[in-house]
Structure 1
Amino acid sequence: MTEPHGLTPQETFALTRRVTLYSVATAGVLVTIKIAAWLASGSVALLASTADSGLDLLASLTTFFAVRYAAAPPDAEHRYGHGKAEGFASLVQAGLVFASAALIGQQAIEDLIHPRPIADGAWALAVMGVSVVLTGVLIAAQSQVLKKAASVAVSGDRAHYAADFASNLVALAGIGLAAFLGLNSLDAVAALAIAALLLWGAVGVFREASGQLMDHELPDEVRAQIVALMTKDPQVTDVHQLRTRAAGPYVHIQMHVDMDPKLTLEAAHKAIVAAEKRVLDAFPAADIIIHADPRGRAEPHGGAFAETHAA
């Protein structure tokens, strides 16, 4: 689960906008040069990598538009904002990776049965070398963004390209061995390894995206931090019914707090606003709802997710 960071939605959007644009540009360049190299060499490993890069371009475009839509402010029809668009984009990425792995695996098996020699292996190796460098630079840029901003879409894109980086290295080894040692079957074996790496990466992307779409709770340490910030004021003696979830760059937090029943409404309101500000200082992209209960006199609340006496 991607942890929230201490950036405003505007700061997060500025970072994700730049890195997704670079992702699209990188994928476009890789598709172009790999198509040219595959036509010249006929390498099935290179064909596998080309197909993967084509789906990378589609996935990067999906992420490019998703982070922009997710950053749109709440409107009358989406009062919780549009942050889950990032989760949907990650699911699309996972589906594309699964499809890519299936196509690559099918082609690799066919080539194992009917191996073909590699032509212009040096040209193919040069292209794969460029792919490794460009993909590595992109992953480094995405990692820097994720250290500062929480984005499940960028995280999914990075996982996708990390698998791509590994697949490029495998393809590089397979093409080299096939072209210069005459071991043509290794080209197809490399393609099968690429398919396996892609499947592994797709599972990770799917798990993270589904966690956000299913409103998975924030990590325990984050929840503990929220409770500590709320109870820093001795007037707030307990936090219960704490519910948290992430939606793209946003974090939604709701809770009940116990307070002295002798406090005036104005005094209780002032203490709650101060507590809310403490949480917002740590999580500027948070949407917070706080319900005050009179300590020792509150009845369990009803509703679809009613709290019990035991809770």
Structure 2
Amino acid sequence: MTNQRTLAVAGASLVIGLIVLGLKGLAWQMTGSVALYSDALESIVNVVTAIVALIAVRLAQKPADAALPYGYHKAEYFSAVIVGVMIIVAAILIVREAYFGLMAPEMPDAPVEGLMISGVATVINLVWAYVLIRYGRKVRSPALEADGKHLLTDVISTVGVLVGLVLVFTTGFAPLDSILAGLVALNILWSGWGVIRDSVGGLMDVAVPPETQKVIREVIAGNAEGAIEAHDIRTRQAGKMTFIDFHLVVPGLMSVEAAHAICDGIEAKLREAVEDVMITIHVEPEEKAKHNGIVVV
């Protein structure tokens, strides 16, 4: 059910992106504003990234197989990197248009109608950005969360453009339109860098957050009765999946059955404490104890 809902959200993001693109394109056509053109150009990126996110979410849901025995979860990180690259490409195109606009500044047309249409598109984006970020964090989907963050950046850019265009029309200073487009480009570049930075961390097998690591260590320490210690605890995040592996030291004379029962107990409690987790435990005899890991209580 969660997988189907996630796909539905990703699909809805594409539909909404097309609607917003149509509205912003109309606002640009009505006004001829370079700033609104830059805003519409960013919406094209939104549509492309929504398509990429939909493909990545679908691929990430594929079960593990012989080719990828740990699953396809990292597909979403590749999607987020592509989103970041597309954002940067959009920013470069906007800078180009801003430059030409500064060389030959012109006052935009139909200010009220264009601003109203762009405002409606901005409200749609704001609501949907909130939905994507909240849902993406809930299901731990890097692709959806990255899409939501980009939309939020789009909202901030558009609000700045709308305020600036009001100043353009009230002051009659035409070059301000192109200056606004350049500021939009800078904001987009910063957003793209943030998306790429976060995604590369996932591709590099970044560890889970410190608070989650603390929970993991507490669960192991409190549910390994009969063992001696746990050491070399490692974690990594891949999409919504959390991977945990560690060495569990048990008395040398303990039977395989008893050691296996301890591992089963730890795994059961870890699954209760951490969602979507894959656990690997390597059992070792007491002479392998390092005396620097978790002492079992």
* TM-score using structure 1 length: 0.89
The question of whether the paired residues in 1 share the 8 Å contact of 2:111 and 2:169 is answered with: yes
Hey, what's the Cα distance between the residues in 2 that align with 1:280 and 1:261? 27
1:3-51 Cα distance to aligned partner (Å, 9 max, x none): xxxxxxx63x344323222221121001112222212211001100111
CA shift, 1:175, in A, is 2.1
Hey, what's the Cα distance between the residues in 2 that align with 1:209 and 1:148? 17
* 1:263 correspondence with 2:277: no
- Residue of structure 2 in register with 1:305 after alignment: none
Call closer, same or farther: CA 1:164–1:231 in 2, change over 3 Å: same
Hey, what's the Cα distance between the residues in 2 that align with 1:257 and 1:15? 38
Match of 2:282 among 279, 291, 298: 291
Q: What root-mean-square deviation, in Å, do the aligned CA atoms of Structure 1 and Structure 2 show?
A: 1.8
- Residue of structure 2 in register with 1:235 after alignment: 226
- Residue of structure 1 in register with 2:178 after alignment: 188
Hey, what's the Cα distance between the residues in 1 that align with 2:252 and 2:184? 64
Hey, what's the Cα distance between the residues in 1 that align with 2:160 and 2:9? 26
Gaps (5+ residues) in structure 1? Answer: 1-9, 301-308
Structure of higher RCO (CA pairs closer than 8 Å, 6+ residues apart): 1
Call closer, same or farther: CA 1:310–1:263 in 2, change over 3 Å: closer
* 1:54 correspondence with 2:44: yes
Hey, what's the Cα distance between the residues in 2 that align with 1:159 and 1:39? 27
1:74-130 Cα distance to aligned partner (Å, 9 max, x none): 112110100010000000000000001111112112212221110111121012101
- Residue of structure 2 in register with 1:4 after alignment: none
Task: Read off the aligned partner of 2:251 and give its amino acid letter.
Answer: D
* TM-score using structure 2 length: 0.93
* 1:101 correspondence with 2:91: yes
Task: Read off the aligned partner of 1:282 and give its amino acid letter.
Answer: A
Hey, what's the Cα distance between the residues in 2 that align with 1:105 and 1:52? 12
- Residue of structure 1 in register with 2:123 after alignment: 133
Q: Which moved more, 1:84-93 or 1:141-150?
A: 141-150
1:98-177 to 2 correspondence within 5 Å? 98-177=88-167
The question of whether the paired residues in 1 share the 8 Å contact of 2:130 and 2:148 is answered with: no
Runs in 1 of length 4+ with deviation above 3 angstroms?
A: none
The question of whether the paired residues in 2 share the 8 Å contact of 1:131 and 1:168 is answered with: no
CA shift, 1:221, in A, is 1.8
- Residue of structure 1 in register with 2:269 after alignment: 278
Task: Read off the aligned partner of 2:244 and give its amino acid letter.
Answer: I
* 1:23 correspondence with 2:10: no
User: Number of residues paired by the alignment?
Assistant: 292
CA shift, 1:147, in A, is 4.4
The question of whether the paired residues in 2 share the 8 Å contact of 1:124 and 1:175 is answered with: no
Task: Read off the aligned partner of 2:156 and give its amino acid letter.
Answer: A
